[in-house]
Amino acid sequence: MKLKLMVIREDKVELESFEYQQQVIGEKPVVLDVLLQYQENQNKDYAYRYGCRNGLCGVCTVEVNGKPKLACKCRVGEGDTITPLSTLPVLSDLVVSRQAVSKQLVEKLPVPQGTGQDNNADNTDYQRLNRCIECYACLHECPMHEKNDLTNRQADYLYGNPYSLLRIQRNLVDANATEEVKEKSLKLARDLGIEACRDCKGCRCGVGINLKKDVIRPLLFRLPNGEPDKSIEKEY
């Protein structure tokens, strides 16, 4: 099976061809199988991330033919092209810098204090959002995230993304969160630029959380004059 892999170093950017050798008869390799073999056979210091090989740790996201996919779960086919996430600055080869996204909410998002209110509550909505593995596939074509300075590896991000909105929305469905926590969370959503969501068709989650229905729409509803745009309404 022939594939193309992106090589990005300090001095070059290239698309390299690679012929994957099947390891067992009838094998349907995933992206990670290709990366492991490519590193061992052809490019010994190829940079890529992986962790659990089981769709849980969320670190191996790359783009396959321009779409974000988990390398450990996505099957590849003849002629596929594997490139780094286009939504974050590249450090080397397939590795992108994730720190500006992961740090965006630190000391900004209020944290619900104490326990006890959730013992007798229905926590289904909360737990539905916890399926997030932080693979950052949702950054793809996000109009909020696109406003950030994505060429600078050290820049902080002023604008949000579906992942940060998911964590904000989780506060709003947390039985332990006070009204004050919820108000502050909503304000943060506004500060991060959630208004951009009104004109957006919506985002896609890497593990199948319905971001439009369970995150974006409930947040937009809570905003002042928060009737969502008609075009968004139609999506549901």
Partner 1 sequence: MQVVEKQYDVVVVGSGGAGTSAAVAARDQGCSVLLVSKDPINCSDSKISEGIVTVRGSETDKDTETELSSNIRIQGDDIGRAEHARAFAEDSQSAYEWMRQQGLKPHFDESGKAKTLGMAMGGHTQSRSIDHANGGLDYAHALRQALTEKQNGHLDYMEDAWFLDLYVQESEQRISVQGGLIYHAADGVLVSVKAQAVVLACGGIGTLYFPHTDTMRGNTGDAYAIAARAGAKLVDMEQIQFIPFAAVNPPSHQGLIVGEPVSAGALGVIRDATGKVILSEIMARTRAECAAAIAQAVEEGRGTDHGGCYLDLTDNIQGASAEPFRYVMKTKAGSLLKVVRASMGSSAARFEVPWEVKPSAHYCMGGIATDENGQVFDANSQPIHGLLAAGQALGGLHGSNRLGSTSLAEAIIFGRRAGYQAAVSAPLNSGSDTNEKSVIEYYLSMLGRDGESYGIDITRALQKACWKFIGPARNEKDMSELKDSISQREQQLDDCHVSSSKYFNQSFIDVVEARNLLQCATFIVQSALSRKRSLGAHFRTDSRPDNLGKRPFSVQCFWESEGQLKIVHEDREASPVGARIKLRMQQGGKILMLKLLRHLPLGLRDKILIKKYAAAAGGLPKENVHEA
Residue 72 binds partner 1, judged by CB under 8 A? yes
Residues touching partner 1, count (CB under 8 A)? 60
Pick one of 70, 95, 173, 186: the residue that binds partner 1 (CB under 8 A).
95
Residues 6+ apart with CB under 8 A from 173: 125, 126, 129
CA angle 227, 105, 176 (to 5 degrees): 70
Residue 187 binds partner 1, judged by CB under 8 A? no
Residues 6+ apart with CB under 8 A from 24: none
Pick one of 91, 158, 196, 223: the residue that binds partner 1 (CB under 8 A).
91
Pick one of 12, 66, 78, 115: the residue that binds partner 1 (CB under 8 A).
115
Q: Which stretch binds partner 1 (CB under 8 A): 106-114, 141-149, 187-195, 212-220?
A: 106-114
Q: Is 3 exposed, middle or buried (0-12, 13-18, 19+ CB in 10 A)?
A: buried
Distance between CA 134 and CA 229 in Å, rounded? 28
Pick one of 62, 134, 148, 204: the residue that binds partner 1 (CB under 8 A).
134
Identify residues 11-30 at the interface with partner 1 (CB under 8 A): 23-24, 27-30
Angle between helical axes of 162-172 and 179-191 (0-180°, round to 10): 160
Report helix, strand or coil for 62: strand
Distance between CA 227 and CA 217 in Å, rounded? 10
Q: How far is the CB of 167 from partner 1 (least distance, A)?
A: 8
Residue 78 binds partner 1, judged by CB under 8 A? no
Distance between CA 13 and CA 216 in Å, rounded? 36
HSE on the CB side for 189, CA within 13 Å?
32
Write the binding mask 28 to 57 for partner 1: x where contact by CB under 8 A, - elsewhere: xxx-xx-----xx---xxxx-xxxxxx-xx
Q: How far is the CB of 199 from partner 1 (least distance, A)?
A: 29
Residues found near partner 1 in the complex (CB under 8 A): 9-10, 23-24, 27-30, 32-33, 39-40, 44-47, 49-54, 56-59, 72, 91-93, 95, 97-99, 102-103, 105-107, 109, 111-115, 118-120, 123, 126-127, 130-134, 153-154, 174, 176
